[in-house]
Every structure is written in structure tokens, then in C-alpha cells.
Structure 1
Amino acid sequence: MGVGVQVPPLAPNSTGEIQSPTYVVGLRSSKMQVQVESVNPARRQVKLQIPADQVSRTWSTVIKRIGGRVRIPGFRPGKAPKKLLERRYGAAIREQVLERLLTKVIPQALDQAGLEPLGRPELDEVGEVRDNTELAVSFSCDVLPDIELDGYMGATYEIHRVEVDDEDIDAELEARRQRAAKVVDVDESAIKDDIVRVKYALRAMVQEPAEEPDWQERRIPVGSATPWLSDLVDGRKIGDILEGQVELPEDEGSELAGGPALIRGEILGIQRRMVPELDDALAQQLELKDLAELRQDAERECNVRANRRNRAIRQQAVLKGILDNHEIAAPQALVNQEIDGRIGQMFGGMNLSDNPGLSRYLEELRDSIRPEAAKGVQQALAVRRLTELHEIEVSDADIDAKIESLVEEMADMEDRVRETFATDSGRENLKAQLVEERIFDLILQGSTVKDGPVLHLRDPDPQPEAEAEEAEAETKADAESDTDQTESSSEQDAEKSAENEE
């Protein structure tokens, strides 16, 4: 993730406290005082005094512009007195003056103070805007924090390892079988997981049959979460007539929902997902010689995934050690960008602003994502600092070799891989990846590595102790809550039973 250019830290004074340096920005014939204060390691507040003559010049420009546009009885355009314009359009004048001043002085103040903001600066306070009067303004912005890293070389890291076994290979073969499955029409009784196309109409229990029933057509998976209809089509054949009484759930989306109804319908079609056998025929369908070669290819794919995961595990172990021993501030501007990116991936680039009903859900989602997003930003900042501290050389030949390695790993996507890394930006991204990989290799070569537990591809990564304890506590709390609800429900049922007996 790109995190921009690092901003130099504010210099500490003799007592070790952060000073608030004052800069002078020249604005034609006057000077603007700019004071920078550290809110936290990743945020600065800028206070400035815009000189009276700068305000006056801007005020005159706005008055002239407004006077040339408005129509005031008794005066030609642009000839109305300044005082009259101020009296009639004072609010608009002040608003435009402020906008023009801020648009000009904020970038100048940031540049003079050596600050490169992450995101847009946020206005904190503005004094009263008056002609020929000095104007006080303060605003804040996020910046990249200064990061000092030490102690990570020569440290001890516990790293678990992913190894491929027969069960992993069997799981990969089964996944390939499932991907090769085809959905076909069948003329047999519907069984579990079949897709049944049914046409039906519902009516109330006491309603007379309508001349034209309100027919609807649905595709129902047998054994799905729509049991009232799924159970009705289970075991049926094409052409079978459905008649009887059903109990509709509350969320059915019908005016009859939540009560009994009469149904009449017909089975129009049945489709079944046919999964091929694991044999030579499947191998040849996948453009391989036989089952033995298919198994070899599945093992190769498993090893590629294990190697990628092992590299990620090694990097995460180093980053965890660094974050455990260093305070790295995460600028909220970058955290928000990270959250936006993750939500965008979840919703596939949908324009969520078009759905105001999602606003509350999205806010809750953002809050739930924020801790992990902040951690991601901290890791990215740590990696960025490591690349500054370790000057790693990567040649064009190294990049070419990496491309060939990726082509070998993803042989079925060779053209796409080569196209991706044929551009300058693609090669630069790959170079940055190689630099990161070599930095982590260098750190671990100079450190003590303890073997953690051996995992397999099917196993999740073990949680850090703190996270595991938190997850266990949440599980325990949920279990206790479920127990309380069950006991409460049982008590209520017992009370009702006793009342019925009486």
C-alpha cells in the first residue's frame, strides 16, 4: 500500500519536549505567522495569522466581483457604494473572502512548514472575517509519523511452518473435481441439492379460487433454507402436480406470510450437478495425461501455496515482533483509506452511497474493520521504514527471474502474468515486492528462529495468545448468553404448560 512521502519530525527542545516552531510566510508586502504544534506523532495543528492587508486585498476583490453582478436600483452595475454592498451582501462577502484566503494560504503554510498532509486538512477554528483586520485560522492534518526501529536484528522469532501432506493433496483433487462439475437436466425424482424449477400459486385458506391465479416461478434447491417449498418438491418428477396446505414463514414476502395457505403448482424441470469421477478421464478433461499426472500437478499447486503462505508467515512474524516492541502511530487518514479499500473489495466496487438504508450498517462495519485496518497501516509504515534502513539492490535480471518463477507457478495464466509485469508500473511493483522479501530474509538470517507448530494447508494460522484469549472469552460469553436464553425459554414453556393443565 502506498503511504506517501515521510515528513521530517519536529525537533525536540532541551527538555525533550516537542517544540512548536514558528515559520514566516511572505505574502507580497506583508508576512504571515505560521505556528505548528504536534497533536500526536501522526497529526499536526497549524495556527496562522493572515495579515490585515492580505485580508483587505481579498475583500476588495470579492466586493468588486459581487458589485459587478448584482442589480441595485439607482446604481449602474459595479457602481454601488462599498458600504451598501457590505450591508446587503455581508454574509456572502465574508464567505467568499474566507474561501479565497484559505485556498491560497493553507498550501503556502504547509509548504513553508515542511508538512505533507495525508488527505485534506481539517479546519479547526476561524476568527471573525472583517475588512482590513488580521484573521486567525487554525487547521489540522495527518502526517506520516517519524519511526525509529531498533532491536529487530538479532531478535528471536517463533515461526510456524506449513507442510503439504496427502490430505492436502486429496483436498486439492476434490476441489478440481468440484470445479469440473456440470449442471445437467435430469428426468428423475428430485434429490438433495437438485435445483427444481416450479410454477405455483398461493391462496388463503378461506378464499374462493380465483379465475386467474397469481402464478409465480422459482428455482428451489432441494434441502435449502426454504423448507416449506423444498420439502414439497423433494422426490417429485417433472410434470408432477403440487396441491396441499403449507405453513408460510414470516419472511416469505407474501401477504399470506406467517400463516397457513393453499398451494397449487407443477414441477417444470429438474437440474442436477454432476461431479466427475477422479480418474484418467478427468485428468484428460483438465489437459493432463492421466490420474498420476493429475495428482503430481495437484501436489505442485499445493507446494506453491505452501511456499507463499510460509513467506507470509515469516514476514508476519517479524512485523509482529516489531509492532510488539515499537509504538507506531497510524494516521487516521491512511486508516480510513484502508477501510474504504476493504469495504470496496467486499462489495465489488458497488456505489454504496446510492443506498441510504446501508448507512448504519456501513458505520458498524467500518468500526469493526478499524482495528485490523490500523494494524495494516502500522505494518505498511514499518515495512516502508525498513526499506529506508536497508538499501537492497534489485536488478532487471532479478525482476525477469521473478517473472519466470511466477509464470511457472501459474502456468495456466502465463499470458496474463507476462502482460501484468510488462509495464513499467508492473515491474516497479514487482521490484518493491522483491526488496521486501529480501529485507525479511536478511532480518531472519541475522536472528534466532525458533520452530513453531507444523501446519498443513487446511489448518488456519494460529492466533496470537492475546487474540486467542479474547476469542475464547467471546465464545464463553456467547455460550452463557445462549444458556440464559434457553433457561428463560424453558421456564416460560413450563409456565405455559402449567397454565394449560390448570
Structure 2
Amino acid sequence: MQVSIENLGKLERKLTVRVPADQYESQVKARLAEVARSVRLKGFRPGKIPPRVIEQRFGPQVRGETISELIRNSFNEAVGKENLRPAMAPEIDTTGQPTDGQIEYTAKFEVLPEIGPIDVGQLEITKVTSSVTDADVDAMIETLRAQRREWVPAARAAQPGDMALFEYAAQGSDTSGSFRHPAEGMDRVGTILGSGSMTTGIEEALLNRVAGDTVTAEVDFPADFREPALAGRRAQVEAKLIRVQESRLPEVDDAFIKAFGIADGGVDKFRADVRANLERELKGMLSARLKNEVVGKLVATHAAIDLPQGMIEREAEMLAQQAQEQARQQGQATPGPEAYRDVARRRVAAGVLVGEIARANNIRLDNRRVAETLASFASTYEEPERVVELYQRDPQLMGGLQSRVMEDQVADWIADHAQVTEQHLSFGEAMRPS
């Protein structure tokens, strides 16, 4: 095999590779012979199919597979010989036909940058610590009770926290002219007073009112109001209170506990399970906070490194596709990949730097940590064993999980070698996105 290399830019390379044609032909013959022994064709006895028939039926496919494998293997050998680290799959150009006893192809690709030693000892990292207290367990149990509350009629005036069912109409005028919503009659809606989900103005007007009362209020509707005809407008609202309901929380008894799959152990087992879930969530959030802190500082100190443009473009396209999918579900439009280039560049820089630190310091993927992470993630589902099986069968899912674990390992390694200041936060503070 003959290899020549050409620099097309800071990170762009072009390899020209020549492989002896007889190597290719011998592989084609071997594959065709294997096909002849194993294939079954109507009208021919096994192993007795004429070579011309094998060539006619399977030759193009075999030759295509052989040339692809030959290029893949020789390319990997060539980049290894030249000490190159391709950032992405190469762009291959070849006729695939032997010429002058050789098969020639060119491969254009970008390489990962040569960063050199990365001194993480100078990074100043803030590491958040936290723990789950009894009060946090109590608060979560109250949240679970609230999620299973019942609404019962209240024969009194409406108070904050009550569910109010009412009818309303809004009308006004602005630079676009007069308007009314709905055009005729009244809309019937429900809201929890004090939640702000229906606008504070209407909810405040309904407080201390009883079923059958009619109220009016001048309301400034927010720009994201559910009714586009009223969004961002001021209107005179007339509302009639139809029904008031108050919430009734369930007792933390055996029936309540069994709803969470706990048949034995009572309140103590229930509290232990709640604490375990909170601790798992907290562990994940603290890990995410540390990774964000470490990667952010790492990228900031290496802001000028050259990065493969192909990786940035691919990341920007992926981010744009994800945003478009979410926007499509909400009936909205999003910008194209160009709007995500800055975020994409930071992500690529993070991946390159994390990968270089792992390579330079011989940080290997901890398979036990992968298994623990998968088990923890799967435990949030009703059938965790099926989730584990799904990941084990899907190389793409497992690859993503392994990448996240490796990032966590590198973040932990950096934190062990950087200048770290610990900051203790309460559970609630720690769980808020940073």
C-alpha cells in the first residue's frame, strides 16, 4: 500500500492511497467462491452453480462490498501509519476500478487539533454539595398528596387555592380596532385562584365571591396568553363565577402508600423510598452541575483552539433539528442551523477538550459506572429490566450513555486536580437549574 498526504488547511487533510489490484481481485474471488458454496438457486444443485451465473447474479454486490471493505481497512491503516486522528468520516473519491495494477482513492477529512498539555491545575472550580433532609422528604410527600388531591364543592366565598369555574367575555379597542372575545356569548374556563394561569387580574376579581356572582375587571393579558385574540392586549372583562371547589388532600395511609407500589413496610418504607428517589435525583443534578462548571471553565480557557468545521456544522444541524421538532409540536417556527453555530462550537470544543484529557491521562470508561448509571436511570420506569434490555440491544443508545459517563468521569478527574471551592446548597437550591 502506498500513501501520500497533503495539507489542505489547518485541520484539513487529503490522503491518496494506492492498493495492489491483485489484493482486491483475490478478495473478490474468495467472496464469490464462498457465495457459490452457500447460496441456493432454483434449478441448480448446492455447490454446483456455474461461476458465470454466480458472477452475473452476485458479482456487482460482492465487488461493491469488497471495495468498501478494502477502502475502510486501508484508510484505518493509513491514518494510523501517519499518526492522524480524523474528526469525522472521510469523503472518499474513487472509480473503484483497477488501473495499472492498482486501485487508487482519495480521502478528504478534518483531523482533531493538536492541543498539547492541558493544565487543569489552574482552573478555579466551584463544586456544589447538598443533602436530602427530613424536611425535604416531608415537602415531597406533600407534593405527592397535592398531585392526588380531590376537588369538592365549597359552599363559601372563593379563596386562594380554590378551583374556580367561570364564564367570561373580554372586549376593548386598540390601534388595530375594536375587539371582543369570544365574538358571541362567553367562554367557560377553570383556574386555580392564585396560580396566575388565567391572569392575575381575573383571579383577583373572583376572590371572595360566591357562585352566581358577576364581576368586571380591567385586565392586561400577557403576550403568551392562551387566546391569541387577547394576547398582549388590555380589555374589559366580565366574568360570572359558576362553581367554587376546594381541595381535599389524601391521608398518608395504607391506601395512599399502595398507590406507589409499596405493599408492605408502611410509612417508614414509603419515606425511605421517597428519600432514595430524592437522593438519586440530587446525585444526578450535582453531577450535572459539576460537569457544566468544569466544562464551562475548560472551554473558556481554550477559546482560541481550532476546531473541525464539519463537526461544528453537524452539531448545529442536530440542534436545529431538535428545536424544529419541538417547535413543530407547538405550531411554531425556528431558525436554521446558522443560529446555533455558537452553541455548537462550544459543544464541539467541550467534546474535543474532554476527549483529549481522557486520552492524555489514560482515563478509561468505567463499565461498572455505566451499569450503575443505566440501572439508576431505568429504576425511574415501571419495568426497569426492559429499559436495560433496550439499551443493551441498541448500540446508539448505549453509545450515548457511555459518552455521558465518560464526560462525568473526566469532570470528576478535573475536579480532583483543579482548585476547588465547595458551596453547600439546600436541596431545593441545588435542584434548580444553574
Shorter chain as normaliser: what TM range?
0.5 to 0.7
Q: After TM superposition, give the deviation of residue 421 of structure 1 in Å.
A: 1.7
Partners in 1 of 2:288 and 2:242 — Cα distance? 51
Aligned AA for 2:162? D
Q: 2:199 — aligned with what?
A: 226
Q: 2:54 — aligned with what?
A: none
Structure 1 residues 285, 320: CA separation in 2 closer, same or farther (over 3 Å shift)? same
Q: After TM superposition, give the deviation of residue 320 of structure 1 in Å.
A: 4.6
Structure 1 residues 277, 157: CA separation in 2 closer, same or farther (over 3 Å shift)? farther
1:459-502 deviations in whole A, cap 9, x for unaligned? 259999xxxxxxxxxxxxxxxxxxxxxxxxxxxxxxxxxxxxxx
1:40-88 deviations in whole A, cap 9, x for unaligned? x56x699xxxxxxxxxxxxxxxxxxxxxxxxxxxxxxxxxxxxxxxxxx
1:396-417 deviations in whole A, cap 9, x for unaligned? 777556544555x537451453
Alignment counterpart, residue 422 of structure 1, candidates 392, 398, 413: 392
Partners in 2 of 1:417 and 1:380 — Cα distance? 27
Aligned AA for 1:382? L
Aligned AA for 1:293? K
1:299 aligns with 2:275: yes
Q: After TM superposition, give the deviation of residue 379 of structure 1 in Å.
A: 0.6
Partners in 1 of 2:125 and 2:201 — Cα distance? 53
Partners in 2 of 1:234 and 1:182 — Cα distance? 21
Q: After TM superposition, give the deviation of residue 330 of structure 1 in Å.
A: 4.6
Secondary structure, aligned partner of 2:326: coil
Partners in 1 of 2:152 and 2:317 — Cα distance? 43
Partners in 2 of 1:285 and 1:329 — Cα distance? 55
1:217 aligns with 2:205: no
Partners in 2 of 1:320 and 1:200 — Cα distance? 49
1:374 aligns with 2:351: no
Partners in 2 of 1:192 and 1:379 — Cα distance? 47
Q: Is the 8 A contact 1:197 1:268 kept in 2?
A: yes
Q: Is the 8 A contact 1:164 1:302 kept in 2?
A: no
Partners in 2 of 1:301 and 1:316 — Cα distance? 23
Secondary structure, aligned partner of 2:187: strand
Q: Is the 8 A contact 2:316 2:341 kept in 1?
A: yes
Structure 1 residues 353, 329: CA separation in 2 closer, same or farther (over 3 Å shift)? farther
Structure 1 residues 153, 230: CA separation in 2 closer, same or farther (over 3 Å shift)? closer
Structure 1 residues 249, 233: CA separation in 2 closer, same or farther (over 3 Å shift)? same
Q: Is the 8 A contact 1:390 1:439 kept in 2?
A: no
Partners in 2 of 1:449 and 1:115 — Cα distance? 31
Aligned AA for 2:184? D
Aligned AA for 1:306? L
Q: After TM superposition, give the deviation of residue 347 of structure 1 in Å.
A: 6.7
TM-score (norm. length: structure 2)? 0.55
Structure 1 residues 198, 346: CA separation in 2 closer, same or farther (over 3 Å shift)? farther
Q: Any residues of structure 2 matched to 1:249-260 within 5 Å, and which?
A: 249=220, 253=229
Q: 1:329 — aligned with what?
A: 306
Q: After TM superposition, give the deviation of residue 318 of structure 1 in Å.
A: 4.6
Q: Is the 8 A contact 1:152 1:321 kept in 2?
A: no
Which runs of 5 or more residues in structure 2 are unaligned? 15-74, 92-107, 173-182
Secondary structure, aligned partner of 1:199: strand
Q: After TM superposition, give the deviation of residue 237 of structure 1 in Å.
A: 4.2
Structure 1 residues 450, 416: CA separation in 2 closer, same or farther (over 3 Å shift)? same
Q: 1:104 — aligned with what?
A: none
Partners in 2 of 1:332 and 1:441 — Cα distance? 29
1:427-454 deviations in whole A, cap 9, x for unaligned? 3444444444445555566x36644222
Give the aligned CA root-mean-square deviation in angstroms. 5.1
Q: Is the 8 A contact 1:185 1:269 kept in 2?
A: no
Partners in 1 of 2:161 and 2:199 — Cα distance? 13
Which runs of 5 or more residues in structure 1 are unaligned? 1-10, 12-20, 22-35, 47-110, 122-140, 205-212, 465-502
Partners in 1 of 2:360 and 2:136 — Cα distance? 39
Q: After TM superposition, give the deviation of residue 381 of structure 1 in Å.
A: 1.8
Secondary structure, aligned partner of 1:287: coil
Identify the structure with bigger relative contact order (alpha carbons < 8 Å, sequence gap 6+): 2
Structure 1 residues 202, 399: CA separation in 2 closer, same or farther (over 3 Å shift)? closer
Partners in 1 of 2:115 and 2:281 — Cα distance? 34
Q: After TM superposition, give the deviation of residue 418 of structure 1 in Å.
A: 1.7
Q: Any residues of structure 2 matched to 1:186-225 within 5 Å, and which?
A: 186-188=153-155, 189-200=157-168, 214-221=184-191, 222-223=193-194, 224=196, 225=198
1:147 aligns with 2:145: no
Structure 1 residues 279, 403: CA separation in 2 closer, same or farther (over 3 Å shift)? same
Q: After TM superposition, give the deviation of residue 164 of structure 1 in Å.
A: 0.4
Q: Is the 8 A contact 1:182 1:275 kept in 2?
A: yes
Secondary structure, aligned partner of 1:196: strand
Secondary structure, aligned partner of 1:350: helix
Aligned AA for 2:148? A
Q: Is the 8 A contact 2:140 2:274 kept in 1?
A: yes
Partners in 1 of 2:145 and 2:118 — Cα distance? 49
Partners in 2 of 1:201 and 1:398 — Cα distance? 58
TM-score (norm. length: structure 1)? 0.49
Answer with 180-189 or 334-343: which moved more. Answer: 334-343
Partners in 2 of 1:342 and 1:411 — Cα distance? 27
1:182 aligns with 2:154: no
Structure 1 residues 286, 331: CA separation in 2 closer, same or farther (over 3 Å shift)? same
Q: Is the 8 A contact 1:344 1:350 kept in 2?
A: no
Alignment counterpart, residue 287 of structure 1, candidates 261, 270, 275: 261
Identity within the alignment, %? 15
Q: Which has the larger radius of gyration?
A: 1
Q: 2:428 — aligned with what?
A: 458
Secondary structure, aligned partner of 1:422: helix
Aligned AA for 2:145? R
